[in-house]
Amino acid sequence: MRTYPAGMRIDSSNFNPVIFWAFGIQMVALNYQTEDVAIALNTAMFEQHGRCGYVLKPAVMWDRNHVMYNHFNPWEKEFDGLHATIFTLHVISGQCVCSNYTANVQVEVEVIGIPVDCAKQKTKVVPKNALNPIWNDIFTFQIMFADISFLRFIVTDANTSHVVSQRIVPFSSLRPGYRHLRLRSPSNQPLELATLFIYSKTEEDLMEGRNSIDISQTAAATGKRMSLFTKVKELSEASRDFKEMPTIGPKLKRRLFFISVFGLTGPDEYVILKVTQESTVYDVIAQALLKVQRLEDKVGDYMLVEDVQSGWEKKDQEKASTQRILDITEKVLQAQNKWKGAGRFILRKLSDDPTSRAWVTTMLKEQKRKLELEQDAGGWEAEEKMFLVCVYNVSPDQPYTVFKAPCSSTALDVITQAMKKAHRSGEDPRNFVLMEELEAQQGSGSEQHTPVSGGSSSSMARRHGSDKVELRVLQDDENVHEAQCEWKTMGRFVLMPRDNVLIEDEEKTKSAGLLKSSVSRSSGFAKRFGSKRMSKHQTSTDKLMIFQPTPDTVRRSISFPSQVNNTQTVTAALAPPVQLQPAPERQSAFKLKPFSKLSFKRAK
Query: The CATH number of the domain where 232 resides is what?
Result: 3.10.20.90
Same domain, 310 and 414: no
Same domain, 501 and 400: yes
Same domain, 38 and 97: no
Give the Cα separation of 263 and 245 in Å (integer): 32
Pairwise pLDDT comparison (251 vs 248), residue with the higher score:
251
Same domain, 117 and 162: yes
Highest mean pLDDT, choosing among 97-106, 454-463, 469-478, 494-503:
97-106
Residue 407 lies in a domain: yes
Q: Which residues on neighbouring strands pair with residue 156, listed in sequence order?
A: 106, 163
Give the Cα separation of 334 and 279 in Å (integer): 10
Whole-model pTM: value is 0.52
115-129, 227-241, 300-314, 372-386: least confident range: 227-241
- In this prediction, residue 488 has a pLDDT band, given cuts at 50, 70 and 90, of confident
| The pLDDT of residue 534 | 42
| The pLDDT of residue 231 | 44
Residue 374's SS3 state is helix
pLDDT at 382 over 90: no
Cβ–Cβ < 8 Å for 278, 254: yes
pLDDT at 190 over 70: yes
Highest mean pLDDT, choosing among 66-70, 129-133, 568-572:
129-133
Percent of the chain with pLDDT over 90: 20
Mean pLDDT of all residues belonging to the chain: 74
- CA distances to 206, 209, 253 from 277, rounded to whole Å, are 12, 9, 11
Same domain, 117 and 266: no
| The pLDDT of residue 217 | 42
Same domain, 392 and 498: yes
| The pLDDT of residue 237 | 44
Pairwise pLDDT comparison (371 vs 17), residue with the higher score:
17
pLDDT tens digit string along 396-451? Answer: 777 888 888 888 888 888 888 888 777 777 788 888 888 888 877 655 544 455 44
Cβ–Cβ < 8 Å for 537, 517: yes
| The pLDDT of residue 94 | 94
Pairwise pLDDT comparison (210 vs 191), residue with the higher score:
191
pLDDT at 536 over 50: no
Same domain, 260 and 123: no
Same domain, 434 and 309: no
Residue 277 lies in a domain: yes
- In this prediction, residue 232 has a pLDDT band, given cuts at 50, 70 and 90, of very low
Pairwise pLDDT comparison (373 vs 120), residue with the higher score:
120
The range of the structural domain enclosing residue 281 comes to 225-237+253-350
pLDDT at 109 over 90: yes
Residue 109 lies in a domain: yes
pLDDT tens digit string along 143-184? Answer: 999 899 999 999 999 989 899 999 999 999 999 999 999 999
| The pLDDT of residue 230 | 47
> Going edge to edge, which strands form the sheet with 270-275?
270-275, 257-262, 343-349, 302-308, 322-325
Give the Cα separation of 435 and 599 in Å (integer): 62
- In this prediction, residue 338 has a pLDDT band, given cuts at 50, 70 and 90, of confident
Nearest 10 degrees: Cα torsion 526, 532, 536, 542? 170
Residue 79 lies in a domain: no
- CA distances to 26, 99, 139, 160, 406 from 135, rounded to whole Å, are 40, 18, 12, 19, 78
Give the Cα separation of 435 and 418 in Å (integer): 13
Q: How many CA atoms lie within 13 A of 27 on its CB side?
A: 5
| The pLDDT of residue 535 | 42
Residue 388 lies in a domain: yes
pLDDT at 71 over 70: yes
| The pLDDT of residue 521 | 52
- Domains contained in the chain, number: 4
Same domain, 331 and 393: no
Helix axes 225-236, 354-375, angle to 10 degrees: 30
Which residue in 94, 93, 103 sits closest to 128, CA to CA? Answer: 103
Residue 67 lies in a domain: no
Same domain, 434 and 546: yes
Cβ–Cβ < 8 Å for 353, 400: no
Beta carbons within 10 angstroms of residue 471's beta carbon: 20
Pairwise pLDDT comparison (573 vs 219), residue with the higher score:
573
Give the Cα separation of 591 and 257 in Å (integer): 81
Same domain, 191 and 319: no
Same domain, 139 and 12: no
Give the Cα separation of 241 and 236 in Å (integer): 15
Q: Read off the CATH number of the domain in which 155 is found.
A: 2.60.40.150
Residue 551 lies in a domain: yes
| The pLDDT of residue 564 | 47
